[in-house]
Structure 1
Amino acid sequence: MQDTIYDPKTGLHYKLMGDYYIPLVKAPDPPKIGIWGHRRYDYLKNHRRVLFSIMQMNETLTPHLEEVDRQATELYDRLIKQFATAEGITEDLKATNQMEWVTRMNNIHSRATEIVGNDLIFV
């Protein structure tokens, strides 16, 4: 008996295990959704239920979440850099006064998070 076979009807390969041929199937890779995609998912699920259901039925929810996550990450990173540059926060400040650097970066983080949420997540 052959170790592996191919069935053109199903388009699957089968591997011999004992007396049986077992199909060689691979689960699809999980979607790459980060924190922003998860926040958008929660918002749609809890506040925009009809849109959430429509997107699930049309199988457009996952691509939408991936795109929102990508856009939000880019916007967040850009805002952090712009705010830090505008306020003169540098690595020198980090080396000389760590607490001041952390305080100011936390403030920037909070502002950037709020902007991203208002512009991309909670719309």
Structure 2
Amino acid sequence: MELTYTKNGDYLIPDLKMDEQPEGELGKYGRMRQKYLKEHRSGMYTALMLDGKLWAHLMEIDQAANSRMEQITKDLAKQRGVTEALKANDQMRWVQEMNNIQMAAEEIVRDELIYS
């Protein structure tokens, strides 16, 4: 790696640039991962940040977590018999079941992807 410098008065200032970062908004799970790394895995957080890979890592975790949530929710709903017919017949039960499924799916995702 070759550094170039710009002369500013009597000083030589290094020309530093950050690598290209992926575009996009960081979602709920990416922010949760960032907070976890910052508070509990500070070495890994610092290494990823210094290598310029933190944002890409957080985006990847966010996308993986969202897709995993979708898949787990679909599978659990099928296992528990939570269908559109149940939604039409007993909306309150359907909401209760879906809330339970969402909470279970999120717990699995947190254990597998966020806090690992």
**Is TM more than 0.5 here?**
yes
Partner of 1:120: 113
In the alignment of these two chains, the number of paired residues is 96
Q: Which has the higher helix share?
A: 2
Q: Secondary structure at the match of 1:77?
A: helix
CA RMSD of aligned residues (A): 1.5
Partner of 2:8: none
- 2:74 is the alignment partner of 1:81: yes
**Aligned partners of 1:82 and 1:113: how far apart in 2?**
13
Runs of 4+ in 1 over 4 A off after TM superposition: none
Higher relative contact order (CA 8 A, sep 6+): 2
1:62 to 55, 58, 62: 55
2:43 to 35, 42, 50: 50
Contact 1:36 1:69 in 2 (8 A): yes
- 2:84 is the alignment partner of 1:91: yes
Contact 2:28 2:62 in 1 (8 A): yes
- 2:87 is the alignment partner of 1:108: no
Contact 1:31 1:62 in 2 (8 A): no
Q: Gapped runs of 5+ residues in structure 1?
A: 1-27
Structure whose alpha-carbon radius of gyration is higher: 1
Give the C-alpha shift of residue 31 in structure 1.
3.1
TM-score (norm 1): 0.74
TM-score (norm 2): 0.78
**Aligned partners of 2:30 and 2:52: how far apart in 1?**
16
**Aligned partners of 1:57 and 1:31: how far apart in 2?**
20
Name the % identity.
38
